[in-house]
Structure 1
Amino acid sequence: MTAQERELTGRVALVTGASRGIGYGIAEALVARGDRVVITGRNEDALKEAVERLGPGRAIGVPGKAHDEAHQAVAVERAMEAFGRVDYLVNNAGTNPVFGPIADLDLSIARKVFETNVISALGFAQQTWKAWQKDNGGAIVNIASVAGLGSSRFVGAYGISKAAMINLTLQLAHELAPGVRVNAIAPALVKTQFAAVLYEGREQEAVASYPLGRLGVPEDIGGAAAFLLSDAAGWVTGQTLVVDGGLFLNMGV
């Protein structure tokens, strides 16, 4: 049975930054189990292609920049207009425009990282809460990173923003309970275009740090998100699930 043939669950998810990579992997996993999805992304053409792959009637795309408050409102409005509900929110949209020590970091870039990686997640959570979840319940998954669990070479601003995302998860989990569960996923290195600079041309070197012998793929995160956005995780909230191929086993963590 294909994803398009699978019986609908009646549940609807909004997944940000989902035209490719981890976001698309999550949207694909949710559609495969019968959910419908609203996906966002900056590139309208890429978004249209993603919607076609996910399947007509199962997905719609709303182009825009994650940190734009008007876009956040429109995305939730489109979900309500098209499907009448927003049970799940996945805050996946993120950016990392710079590599290097934070001692030399342009503060305008730091602000951009936080606006996209953290403030946008709060904005989307506020919008879905007001539109549906406050009265009907639901679940949120924030995509953090192992970079938020310790210091990170060359991606310090990104790591700091993901640490903030983990704390945002705790705050939302506390405030939105009992109706809405909020959890985070902290992936290690996943093979996506976003992370290509970290492994292209040196994948075997990168893999050597992982006890499971490979880097992650978007489907790994899709499966974890699908679990957290399910009744099977009905007693799980405020947690950060590390999905790292065993990386931390080699770090004494």
Structure 2
Amino acid sequence: MSTWTFDFTDRKIVITGGSRGLGFQMARAFSSLGADVAIASRRLAACEDAAAVITAETGGTVRPYALHVADWEQCTRFAQTVWDDMGGVDVLVNNAGSSPLYDSISGISEELYDKVIGLNLKGPFRLAALLGEKMAEAGGGAIVNISSIASLHPRPATVPYSAAKAGLNATTTALAHAYGPSVRVNCVVPGTFLTDVSHHWDEEAFTERAQTFAAKRGGEPEEVVGAVLYLASSLASYTTGALLTVDGGASS
């Protein structure tokens, strides 16, 4: 019998980039629905603070971890550590990412390029490969990668980021086939969300650009949550290898 609800009671959820922005809202949502949540980012103190806030709100268990997602060996160690600590993982959300600014395309340094690829593609691949394999051996699970509409509509200001996120889209499809049918691998493709990064934007210029969106505005961080919960839940039992765009109609 199907249950038409989001119930994550006792499910083990791992979210990278979970201390702020979209990842923090995802962690709040999963915790409020009964999940045992692990959040990871480079700054352990930020994860500890975020975990304390969520636990105070939901009463759930939220575990903080330090992890530099762009570091292959750290990802390798983290995958084993979080699996052991939680007694398995049911859902991995590869949310950590960044799109640094640069003055010109030819001025992009090798260091910046490698950093962007490492954080947005290499690390998510490594975590998904390791935890996906463990999930498959344990009987199933779900991986939700967080991409960007920049992967589908690349622009001069996002060359390395667009390339990395396009690679993440391709990785999503490949791993869906590699670990199916027991592990589902999907991708949320967000548009412009008003996270803390947006505080540094030219507000007037963005407001004007947003008029080209069907929604006429940027998204609030909590508005990505429904898509992630769906792809992580049993309601998405026949959804795998999919890209789910959540962009307020910006790319339509």
TM-score, reference length from structure 2: 0.89
Pairwise mapping of residues 182-221 of structure 1 onto structure 2 (< 5 A)?
Answer: 182-198=185-201, 200=203, 202-221=205-224
Note the residue ranges of structure 1 that are not aligned, 5 or more in a row: 1-6
2:51 counterpart of 1:51 = yes
1:149 aligns with 2:164: no
> What corresponds to 2:14 in structure 1?
14
Corresponding residue for residue 72 of structure 1: 75
Aligned to 2:247: 244
Matches within 5 A, 1:83-122: 83-122=86-125
**How many angstroms does 1:200 deviate by?**
4.1
In structure 2, relative to structure 1, the CA distance for the partners of 1:168 and 1:101 (3 Å cut) is farther
| 1:46–1:125 distance in 2 versus 1, CA, 3 Å | same
CA distance in 1, matches of 2:250, 2:223: 15
Normalising by structure 1, report the TM-score: 0.88
Amino acid at match of 1:26: M
- Residue 62 of structure 1: CA displacement? 0.5
Number of the residue aligned with 2:173: 170
**CA distance, structure 2, for counterparts of residue 133 and residue 72 of structure 1:** 19
Taking a change above 3 Å as real, the CA distance of residues 147 and 135 of structure 1, as seen in their structure-2 partners, is same
* Structure 1 residue 23, shift from structure 2 partner: 1.1
Aligned pairs, how many? 244
- AA of the residue aligned to 2:13: A
Moved more, 25-34 or 7-16: 7-16
Output one character per residue of 1:100-129: Cα deviation in whole Å (capped at 9) or x when no partner. Answer: 443332222111111111010111012213
Quick one: which amino acid aligns to residue 69 of structure 2? A
SS of 2:121's partner is helix
Given that residues 76 and 131 in structure 1 are in contact (C-alpha distance below 8 angstroms), is that contact kept between their aligned partners in structure 2?
A: no
Q: CA RMSD in A?
A: 2.1
Kept in 2, the 8 Å contact 1:148–1:162? The answer is: yes
Q: Which runs of 5+ in 2 are unaligned?
A: 1-6
* Aligned amino acid, residue 218 of structure 1: P
- Letter in structure 2 aligned against 1:205: E
> What are the equivalent positions in structure 2 for 1:223-234 lying under 5 Å apart?
223-234=226-237
Q: 1:82 to 1:8 in 2, by over 3 A?
A: farther
